[in-house]
Chain A
Amino acid sequence: MASSPLVAAQPVTIDIKGTTREAFLVRATLAAGATYGALSATPYITRALAQDSGGDVDILNYALTLEYLENEFYALAVKQVKGLSGDVLKLAKELRDNEAEHVDALAATVKKLGGTPVKKPGFDFGGAFASRTAFLQTANVLEDAGVSAYNGAGPLIKSVDVLAAAGSIVQVEARHAALIRLVRSKPPAPLAFDKPASKAAILKKVTPFITS
């Protein structure tokens, strides 16, 4: 899975119903053209599609940054947190490996779309590894934030394939969040509707962990 871009893998399992967001956009723009004259529609199509690809690559790179952060977090936790054992240690390793697969898939997808994957930032998790409790608390914050980040970005994604990829990742982030919460004896699904969060809100939340 690590090297196979999700863009290629997902349409097999997702029922797309014969249209893409790009096609929809072009159709909507052409409809506008029919009203205002075909010539006036052309620049709208060009601009819309240009913004399209840039938008999805931006969103994927934003997601990639968050996955780098989560992957690094668990990779360090497994080595540094004292008293991690048994099922919790196994869970931390499983989550570390999942996040690594997300990193690989997102980087591959960015490349597939002709973009450049962002570099892995430098991280500092402060006192998050000082104890099992501190680790689980930070993990809870990061996983819930991950869910909100993907849910906030999802409706802005233009390509159905990219949306399918993001959807298949956020589902796993939500499962992670529930499991970490259960380990903490917290309700696994505290809200009936997971809240989407804006990119700005998420960046504010994770900036303290990013050093470069």
Chain B
Amino acid sequence: MTDSALRELADDPSSRKRFLKMMGGAGAVSAFGVLLAACGDDDDKDTASTPAAASTSAEDMKGDLHILNYALTLEYLEAEFYKQVIDSGIVKDPKVGSIAKQFGETEQAHVEALIATVKKLGGTPATKPKTKFQPTLDKGLMAVLETAADVENLGAAAYLGAAGGIKNRDVLAAALSIHSVEARHAAALNQLLGRGFGGKGGLSGTLPDGAFGKGMDEASVLKAVQPFLA
């Protein structure tokens, strides 16, 4: 691959190196460090090391804290929903049950990591919202799975919509590492529900946005989750 772009890219000094040079190695809080610690997995060989955070102004930090607390509120909702679904015993199928359990644990890990990150940045974590999932649970398993899929798709859209507003690159890295997990959850639940792609067939709906995910702004996301807030 002598003339290939890949080789060129490989020989090129990495963007991160340039980035670090550009930022002059200004030390700041490494929020992503907190999240990685929360992952409980320190296999770094394959992982991009986090660039030293850019110096972030107080105003930008305030904006990032707002986004982190907004994300925290959504993660609280998701974690609580899975918890209530599992506690209700409505899921009988062991395969679906194990997915609900694992997704619930993941959302709880997101909650804890976001709380730790907000604290690390000197902010106050949002309090856990009071939720209202009983009407959904009363409607039965299909309604529960549909709600789970809707909420996960909404979560993915929320992170995507918020990413552009994040100023601190460590916070951005953290948000991206959660964003793609929400997208995985959304796709799995869509598939489980047999929502069709291309409008036909058993797998339809698994890729509801086509080739490009759609972001959603905070106001629209909060409006969409309003029915679940007590």
Using a CB–CB cutoff of 8 Å, the interface residues on chain A facing chain B are 1, 6, 10, 13-17, 24, 27-28, 31, 47-48, 51, 55, 58-59, 61-62, 64-65, 86-87, 90-91, 94, 97-99, 101-102, 105, 118-119, 121-122, 147-148, 150-156, 160, 163-164, 167-179, 182, 187-189, 191-201, 203, 206-207, 210-212
Give the B interface residue count (CB, 8 A).
84
Identify which of B165, B188, B212 contacts A182 (C-beta below 8 A): B188
> Is the CB–CB distance between B203 and A199 below 8 Å?
no
Q: How far is the CB of A62 from chain B (nearest CB, A)?
A: 5
13 further interface pairs, Cβ-Cβ under 8 Å (given A24-B167, A212-B3): A14-B164, A14-B215, A15-B162, A15-B215, A87-B201, A91-B206, A94-B207, A97-B211, A118-B8, A152-B47, A188-B187, A189-B106, A193-B38
> Is the CB–CB distance between B22 and A167 below 8 Å?
no
Q: How far is the CB of B40 from chain A (nearest CB, A)?
A: 9
B173 cross-chain contacts in A, Cβ below 8 A: 151, 154-155, 196
User: Tally of A-B residue pairs with Cβ under 8 A?
Assistant: 269
Using a CB–CB cutoff of 8 Å, the interface residues on chain B facing chain A are 1-6, 8-10, 12, 14-16, 18-19, 22, 35-36, 38-39, 41, 45-51, 54-55, 57, 60, 63, 99, 102-103, 105-106, 109-110, 113, 156, 160-165, 167, 169-170, 172-174, 176-181, 183-188, 191, 197-198, 201-203, 206-207, 209-218
B39 cross-chain contacts in A, Cβ below 8 A: 191-193
A153 cross-chain contacts in B, Cβ below 8 A: 15
B160 cross-chain contacts in A, Cβ below 8 A: 14, 164, 167-168, 171
A169 cross-chain contacts in B, Cβ below 8 A: 211-213
Whether A171 touches B113, Cβ cut-off 8 Å, given contacts A164-B163, A200-B10, is no
The CB with the most chain A CB atoms within 10 A, among B46, B50, B174, B212, is that of B212
Whether A61 touches B10, Cβ cut-off 8 Å, given contacts A94-B198, A199-B15, is no
Whether A65 touches B187, Cβ cut-off 8 Å, given contacts A192-B39, A193-B177, A193-B178, is no
A86 cross-chain contacts in B, Cβ below 8 A: 202
Q: How far is the CB of A105 from chain B (nearest CB, A)?
A: 7
CA distance A16 to B161 in the complex (A): 8
CA distance A210 to B9 in the complex (A): 14
> Is the CB–CB distance between A195 and B46 below 8 Å?
yes
A201 cross-chain contacts in B, Cβ below 8 A: 45-48
> Is the CB–CB distance between B16 and A156 below 8 Å?
yes
A203 cross-chain contacts in B, Cβ below 8 A: 6, 9-10
The CB with the most chain A CB atoms within 10 A, among B4, B50, B214, B218, is that of B4
CA distance A47 to B22 in the complex (A): 8
Whether A13 touches B181, Cβ cut-off 8 Å, given contacts A87-B201, A188-B187, is no
Identify which of B165, B177, B179 contacts A171 (C-beta below 8 A): B179
Q: How far is the CB of B98 from chain A (nearest CB, A)?
A: 9
> Is the CB–CB distance between A15 and B218 below 8 Å?
yes
Q: How far is the CB of A61 from chain B (nearest CB, A)?
A: 6
